[in-house]
Copies of this chain bind each other. A is one copy, B any other.
Amino acid sequence: MAELAGVSRTTASRVINGKPGVNPQTRKHVLDAVGHLGYGPHAVARSLATKRTQIIGIFIPTPVSTLFSDPFFSVLLQGIVHAAAAHDHQVLLTLLPETEDSEACVRSAQNGYTDGAIAVASALMSETLLPWLQAADFPLVCVGRWANGETSFVDVDNIGGARQATEHFLRLGHRRIGTITGPLQLPVAADRLRGVEEALRAYGLHLPHELILEADFTELGGMLAMQRLLRAKPEAVFAQSDAMAIGALKAIRQAGLRVPDDLALVGFDDLPLAEHVDPPLTTVRQPIPLLGHMAVEVLLSQIAHPQRKVRRQVVLPTDLVVRESCGAFRAAKGRG
């Protein structure tokens, strides 16, 4: 122990934590000793005493651990890790075990290593785990809107983003607009659908049933949905994710049609992939790193003020990134 080199551990503790009320000479003496024998405080012991670990958890239900290969998640994670580091916190990846006993699951997650946690919204999460976590009064922030008003969340403006995409189509002259959605029981999918409907309604249009295809956010799902959607002969298609848009692209090409000449296409996310496909994908960009930052901010403020029951709910704006697949450049050229 460092305090062998001079003083009592109380004083050593004061020096190391930079607390006031220590003689400058004593302080220097302690710091010398610290430097001399390469001492570093033992974080675990400190946590036990202070009841703070400076660690925030990320809860991932095992069944959805394919999340990792989702670029959305990667970028989100990067944002979270950076924001956490800026606040002197570390990030613990916690895989929630697959079990029907969600109470035990929550207990194991809330094992004391984390001061609070961030969870990515998913059907699984919301149905089984969230209620327990809330009941345990554990600081938690969801990424993605969560229907229950009790929980803090950060989200992007899904309704607005979908509306932007749809309005873009409408301005380009398209009227028969189809959409490929995610699982509609997820708020994110329902919101994006609603955005499409709102934009159409503002133009006095409505979205007929046969132009809505429900899929699962994946590329394969997008391809299958597009194959069915083609029968309804849309002029333009808004896919709720870039992955589905890319699947749709394949289906369209297989059907012998061209994008954007025969069919305009817009995605959602702005994955790095989006600008590399052929044609480059017009898409709705989400400020994902910012989303991660906000999640950390909200979580830390909740940890710092556990008594304050205010749950903060943050919604960030989206941008439409216009590339080739929507046909806007071609239309402009034709006009100009």
A71 within 8 A of B: yes
Q: Of A72-80, A169-177, A197-205, A226-234, which binds chain B?
A: A72-80
Within 8 Å CB of A43, what residues of B?
Answer: 111-113
A278 within 8 A of B: yes
A53 within 8 A of B: yes
Q: Are B278 and A112 in contact (CB under 8 A)?
A: no
Q: Are B90 and A90 in contact (CB under 8 A)?
A: no
Within 8 Å CB of A111, what residues of B?
Answer: 40-43
Within 8 Å CB of A95, what residues of B?
Answer: 81-82, 85, 90
The answer to whether residues A93 and B112 also contact, given A38-B103, A276-B276 and a CB cut-off of 8 A, is no
Q: Are A108 and B40 in contact (CB under 8 A)?
A: yes
Q: Within the complex, which residue of B53, B82, B94, B272 is in contact with A44, where a contact is CB–CB below 8 Å?
A: B53
Task: Give the size of the chain A interface in residues (CB under 8 angstroms).
Answer: 46
Within 8 Å CB of A66, what residues of B?
Answer: 78
Number of this chain's copies in the complex: 2
A320 within 8 A of B: no
Interface residue SS majority, chain A: helix
Within 8 Å CB of A62, what residues of B?
Answer: 85
Q: Are A113 and B55 in contact (CB under 8 A)?
A: yes
For chain A, residues 10 to 61, give those with C-beta under 8 angstroms from any C-beta of chain B: 38, 40-45, 47-48, 53, 55, 60
Within 8 Å CB of A38, what residues of B?
Answer: 103, 107
For chain A, residues 273 to 298, give those with C-beta under 8 angstroms from any C-beta of chain B: 273, 276-278
A110 within 8 A of B: yes
In the docked arrangement, what's the CA distance between A39 and B53, Å? Answer: 20
In the docked arrangement, what's the CA distance between A48 and B45, Å? Answer: 6
A215 within 8 A of B: no
Known: A91-B92, A246-B276, A278-B278; 12 extra A-B contacts, CB below 8 A, are A41-B111, A42-B112, A43-B112, A43-B113, A44-B47, A44-B48, A45-B112, A53-B113, A69-B75, A85-B97, A276-B276, A276-B277
Chain A to chain B contacts (Cβ below 8 Å), 9 pairs: A38-B107, A40-B112, A44-B44, A81-B93, A85-B95, A90-B113, A92-B93, A276-B276, A276-B277
